[in-house]
Chain A
Amino acid sequence: MEPQTTENTEVASRKADVLAPRIEWEYVPSRESTDIVEIADRYDLFIGGEFRKPKSGKYFPTVDPATEETLAEVAEAGPDDVDAAVAAARAAFEDGWGRMPGSERAKYIFRIARMIQERSRELAVLETLDGGKPIKESRDVDLPQVAANFFYYAGWADKLEYAFPGFRPEPLGVAGQVIPWNFPLLMLAWKVAPALATGNTVVLKPAETTPLTALVFAEITAEAGLPPGVFNVVTGAGETGAAVVGHPDVDKVAFTGSTEVGKLIQSQVAGTRKRLTLELGGKAAHVIFDDAPIDQAIEGVVNGIFFNQGHVCCAGSRLFVQENIHDLFVDKLKARLATLRVGDPLDKNTDVGAINSRQQLEKIRQLVEAGVEEGAEIYQPQCELPDRGYWFVPTLFTGVSQSHRIAQEEIFGPVLSIMSFRTPAEAVEKANNTPYGLSAGVWTSKGSRILWMADRMKAGVVWANTYNKFDPASPFGGYKESGFGREGGRHGLLNYVKHAGGRP
C-alpha cells in the first residue's frame, strides 16, 4: 500500500492552523495562607515536659530561606542544658516509661499521631517556612509520612515480644538523637516513634536551621499528656549535638546527617557502651536501560534529584543512561526541566523551593563550579528567581566522568550528573563505584533484569521503575559510608532494644 498523505497536502491542510493564535496560560500564585501558624518571637528548650530558658543564656535566629527573614530566636543549649535534658530523660525512664506495659505506651503514641494529623496543615506550613521546601511536598509527603510513622510504631508497642522470635526485648534507656534539616519532622518521626514504642526516652537535637517543627511537636507531646522527660528537645548547632552524643548517661546514639559528622560521632562513641546507628550521605545511581518506559523514567529521574531541592540523602544524583538512548533521554530531560516551577515554597504550584541555608547554597555553587572547571557540560533552564532568599536553578551536567568531583561528592542540591554505560555489568560497576551506598534506581521493562541489578547494586534500597518511595513498614539505611542500622519496619525496632538479661 502506498502512503496516502503527501508532504504537500500536509502543509496545505495546516496553513490555516498556523495562523491561529496560541493561548498563553499562566498559573497565578496560589499561596498557602500562613495564618494558621503562630510563631513565637523566642523558643526555649523543652526539658522535663516544659519549656525552660537555656542556662547558657544564648539564643540564635532561625530564618526563612525563601526571604532571609528571621522567623524566631531559638535557645542554644550548652553542656549544662544537655545535662539537664539527659537527667530528665533518665528520670522519666526510671520512673516508669521503660517498665510501662506496651499497650499503655501505645495509647500516648497513637494520641500523638492523631494530634499530628489534626495539626498537619499548621505543621506543613511551618516546615515550609523554616526549611524552604515546597508546600505541596510538606503537605502531601512529609506530614502524611510523619503521622504514618507514629501510627505504625504505636502498633508495635504492645507486640514487641512477637517481633523477634526467641528474643525478649528490653529498652536501652536514654536515646540521644541528632537529626538533619532536609526532612525535619519526618526524621524526628523516624527516630522518636520507634524509640518511644520500645520504651526508651529521648533527647532530640534538631538541626539549627530547622528547629521549629520539633518545638511544636514538643508542645504536642505535652498536650498528649506524655509523661515529663520522656521526650526532650535541645536546640543548637554542632556543639550541642556533640554534647548530646558525648553525654556519659546516653545509652543510644542515632544520627542522620553528613558522612563527615557521622565519622566524628563514631570515633566519639568508640569504646563506650553506647549503641550507634548512622544514616549518612549518598550519591545514588539511577540506571536507565534502553527498554525503559522512557517518559515515566524521565519523571522518576526528575523526582529523584529535584524532590526537596535535591536535599535528600537518597537523591538520585548520578544518572547512568544506556548509551544508545543517551542523547534522546537528555533531550527529553532538558525539555522537562523547563517546566519545573522554581520559587516561593508557599505557592501550591511550586515544584522546587528554596535552598535550606546560605551555607548549603555556597557548597552547591562550589561543586557546580568544580564541575564546569573539570570540563563537564552544564545545562540550566531559563528560570526567574526571586530577588531575596537562597535559590539554585535545577542543573544538569552531561559529559561527566567517574573521576569528576560532581560524580563522587554528595552535592545535596538540585544538580544531576549524567553518564552513560553500555552493558548491565558496566552499569553495576559504575553504580557501585562510590564510597556511598544508600539507594539506587533501575528503569527497565524486563523483570529479570530488575532482580539481576538489585542483587548486585550495593545500596540499602533499590527502587525499580519508581523512586523515593517510603513506607513506615519498609526498612531504610545504608551500605558502606552511607551508614549502618535500618530505620523503619520491624528492623527499626532493633536499634532501640536489647535482649533481656544478655547480649542480643
Chain B
Amino acid sequence: MTLTPTRQAILPDRLTNSTLTSFLRSVPSVDEVAVAERVASLSTRSIKRESKAHALRMAISMMDLTTLEGMDTPGKVIQMSSKAVRPDPTDPSIPSVAAVCVYPAMVPYARQAVEGTGVKVASVATYFPSGQVDIGLKVEETRQVVEAGADEIDMVINRGAFLSGDYFRVFDEIVRVKEACGDAHLKVILETGELQTLDNVRRASVLAMAAGADFIKTSTGKVSPAATLPATLVMLEAIRDFWAATGVKVGMKPAGGIRTAKDAIRYLVVLNETLGEEWMSPDWFRIGASSLLNDVLMQIRWLETGRYQSADYFTKD
C-alpha cells in the first residue's frame, strides 16, 4: 500500500451530501459488545513499578489541564496555568502539562501566564459546548480566539446536523473552522455521548479527519457520559485506518470523566496497544481533565515514598 499524504484520498471526487453519505456507509461497522470486551480485557493489564512511574509522568505531559466553567475568572485561570507549568512545587522533575484549556474570554490571561514555558494554550471555540449557532459566528469566534493567542482550538461538531444526516454540513463546518485556525492546531470534539452509537462515533471520526482535524476528541465534558474507553478505542481504530489509507497522522484526545491515575493508565494502555509508540507523545495524545492531575501526583509520591499523603500536601489551583 502506498501512502498518499493527503486527507482527501479516501473521499469521493465530487462532494455532496449524497456522495458523503454513501462514503460514510462504507466505513466498517462496529460491534458494541465486542468493543466492550476488548477494553475490559485491556483494562486488566497490570502496570507496576517503573512502568507505572513512567505512565504517570507521561500522563501529566499529555494533559490538557482544563477549566470550563461559567464562574471562571482571570484569577482562577492564572492560578491553574501556574499549576500547569509546575504541577508539583516540591518536585521539579515532574513535567509540565501539555496545555491549559479554557474558554475564549480567558485566552489572554492563560497566554500571559504560560508564555515562554512550552505549555500551550488551548481554547474551546465554535460556541462550545452546544455549537448551535450559524457557521459564520463559529468561524468568527475561532479567528478571534486564535488572534488572542490560542495555539490550539477545540471545536465542537454540529451534532444536530450529523444526527439528521446532513454530513456535508458537518464536514463543511470543520473545513471552514480549520481554515480560520491558520497555524493553530484543530481538535474536533465529536461529543460521543450525544452520538451514542459506536457506528456514529466511527463515522464522525472519519468525517472529522477527512475535513482536516489535527486531533479528534471525545467530549465537551458537559454531557454524560463524557470520555469512555469504548468510544476511545473506536476512535483510535479509525485513526489507524485513516493513517493507513492517507499517510496522515491524527491525534486523539479523550476528555471528561478521567479523574484517577488508574483511569489515565487504562487510556494509555488502549492507546499503546492500538496505535503503538508512534502515538505515545503529547503531540499525538492528550487527556482533557481538571481533577486528574492531583491524583496522578499523589500516585507518583506514593511510588516514590511508599506512602499515601494527605490531599493537603497537593496544591489546589
Interface residues in chain A, defined as those with a beta carbon under 8 Å from any beta carbon in chain B: 1, 3-7, 10-11, 13-14, 17, 20-28, 30, 136, 140, 291-296, 299-300, 331, 339, 348-349, 445, 465-466
Residues of A within 8 A of B46 (CB): 27, 30, 348-349
Chain A residue with Cβ nearest B278: A22
Q: Interface code B159-181, partner A: CB below 8 Å = 1, 0 otherwise?
A: 00000000000001001101100
Nearest CB of chain A from residue B205's CB, rounded to whole Å: 12
Tell me if B5 is interfacial: C-beta within 8 Å of chain A.
yes
Beyond A4-B212, A7-B5, A10-B5, is A25–B268 a contact (Cβ under 8 Å)? Answer: yes
Taking a contact as CB atoms under 8 Å apart, the answer to whether A28 and B49 are in contact is yes
Taking a contact as CB atoms under 8 Å apart, the answer to whether B48 and A21 are in contact is no
CA A20 to CA B268, docked complex, whole Å: 18
Residues of B within 8 A of A11 (CB): 5
Segment at the interface with A among B32-40, B188-196, B221-229? B32-40
CA A465 to CA B212, docked complex, whole Å: 33
Residues of A within 8 A of B28 (CB): 292-295
Beyond A1-B172, A20-B281, is A296–B7 a contact (Cβ under 8 Å)? Answer: no
Select one of B35, B51, B175, B237 contacting A25, CB under 8 A. Answer: B51
Tell me if B29 is interfacial: C-beta within 8 Å of chain A.
yes
Residues of A within 8 A of B248 (CB): 10
CA A214 to CA B272, docked complex, whole Å: 39
Chain B residue with Cβ nearest A299: B38
Nearest CB of chain A from residue B149's CB, rounded to whole Å: 18
CA A22 to CA B183, docked complex, whole Å: 23
Instruction: Name B256-272 residues within 8 Å CB distance of A.
Output: 268, 272
Per DSSP, chain A at the interface is loop
CA A26 to CA B178, docked complex, whole Å: 36
Beyond A10-B7, A17-B283, A299-B34, is A25–B272 a contact (Cβ under 8 Å)? Answer: yes
Taking a contact as CB atoms under 8 Å apart, the answer to whether A28 and B178 are in contact is no
14 contacts between A and B (CB under 8 A): A1-B175, A5-B212, A10-B6, A17-B249, A24-B280, A27-B45, A27-B51, A28-B49, A140-B44, A293-B29, A296-B30, A348-B44, A349-B46, A466-B37
CA A465 to CA B31, docked complex, whole Å: 8
Beyond A7-B6, A296-B38, is A25–B33 a contact (Cβ under 8 Å)? Answer: no
Tell me if B55 is interfacial: C-beta within 8 Å of chain A.
yes
Nearest CB of chain A from residue B8's CB, rounded to whole Å: 5
Taking a contact as CB atoms under 8 Å apart, the answer to whether B280 and A23 are in contact is yes
Nearest CB of chain B from residue A412's CB, rounded to whole Å: 23
CA A5 to CA B208, docked complex, whole Å: 13
- Residue among A21, A28, A140, A348 with most chain B CB within 10 A: A28
Q: Interface code B36-70, partner A: CB below 8 Å = 1, 0 otherwise?
A: 01100000111111110011001000000000000
Taking a contact as CB atoms under 8 Å apart, the answer to whether B249 and A25 are in contact is no
Nearest CB of chain B from residue A25's CB, rounded to whole Å: 6
Nearest CB of chain B from residue A256's CB, rounded to whole Å: 26
Q: Interface code B178-212, partner A: CB below 8 Å = 1, 0 otherwise?
A: 11000101000000000000000000000000001
Chain B residue with Cβ nearest A10: B5
Nearest CB of chain A from residue B279's CB, rounded to whole Å: 8
Tell me if B15 is interfacial: C-beta within 8 Å of chain A.
yes
Residues of A within 8 A of B175 (CB): 1, 3-5
